[in-house]
Every structure is written in C-alpha cells, then in structure tokens.
Structure 1
Amino acid sequence: MPDVQPSKESGDYETPESPESAAQRRARRAQFLRDLHEARELRDRVQPRRARAARMRQQMRMRTFRW
C-alpha cells in the first residue's frame, strides 16, 4: 500500500512523490499569514489591555534596539 498523506487544501490524498510547487507553497503561506493576522486582530479586540501592554513592550524593544 503506498504511503499517502491528506492534502491540507482539499482534504483528498496526495502521494509524497508529488512535490508541492512554489506557487502552491506561496498560496498556502499567504493564507496562513492572513489567518494569523486575523487571529491577532481578534485577540486585540477581545483583550485590549493585554494588546496595549504588548504594543508598549514592542515600542520599548524598538527604542532600545541598536542598528
């Protein structure tokens, strides 16, 4: 029996011999980054105090960073 893995996009199975094309990889990465950005925005809306503290920490990190 061939070794098969479920595909992440469509739920069907693909063989490990068929490599992912660069375009497919970029599309999958773009979708992941969109989902990540959406999740961060949702977290910031739900927890405004924590989001503000995180922004302040990031600003302090950027101020003290040496170029």
Structure 2
Amino acid sequence: MADEKRRERPEREPEAAGPGPDEESDAERRRRRALFLRELTEARELRARVQPRRARAARMRHQMRMRTFRW
C-alpha cells in the first residue's frame, strides 16, 4: 500500500532557472538583505507592542548581556 502511494507521487521538478548564488549581483543581495532586515525590525516592533512585559524583560536581559560582555 505504501509502495503504491510512493509510486503515484509525481517527480519533483528542478528548481526554476535563475541566477545561482555565485551569479547573484551584489546589488541584488544587498536589496534582499535590506528587505529582510526591515521585516525583522517590523516583526520585533510588533512583538514588543503585543507582549510588552516579555519584550521589556528581553531588553533587560540583552542590556545585562551587553554590560557583562568582555571586549
């Protein structure tokens, strides 16, 4: 029974043709990175608004880590 289902599954198509990681331009990589960082910041701000107590505790832990970090 499991063998029949395995055979029925369609073959996986290869990835869409596009620039590989080596062919990607620096500008495109920077654009994607900037977008990612904007979304990350937005998500952190949303979490801070939704869970203010937890966000405050996380900020306090981060400050303590930074104070005790040795350069």
Q: RMSD between aligned alpha carbons?
A: 2.1
Name the structure where helix makes up a greater proportion of residues.
Answer: 2
Q: Report which of the two has the higher share of strand.
A: 1
Moved over 2 A (4+): 13-16
Q: Deviations over 1:9-47 (max 9, x none)?
A: xxxx5254x821110000000000000000000000000
Q: Which runs of 5+ in 1 are unaligned?
A: 6-12
Which structure is richer in relative contact order (CA contacts within 8 A, separation 6 or more)?
1
Query: Which residue in the other structure is 1:30 paired with?
Result: 34
Which of 1 and 2 has greater Rg? Answer: 2
User: Please, what TM-score do these two structures have when normalized by structure 1?
Assistant: 0.74
TM-score, normalising length from structure 2? 0.70
Identity of counterpart residues, as a percentage?
A: 70
**Matched residue pairs, number?**
58
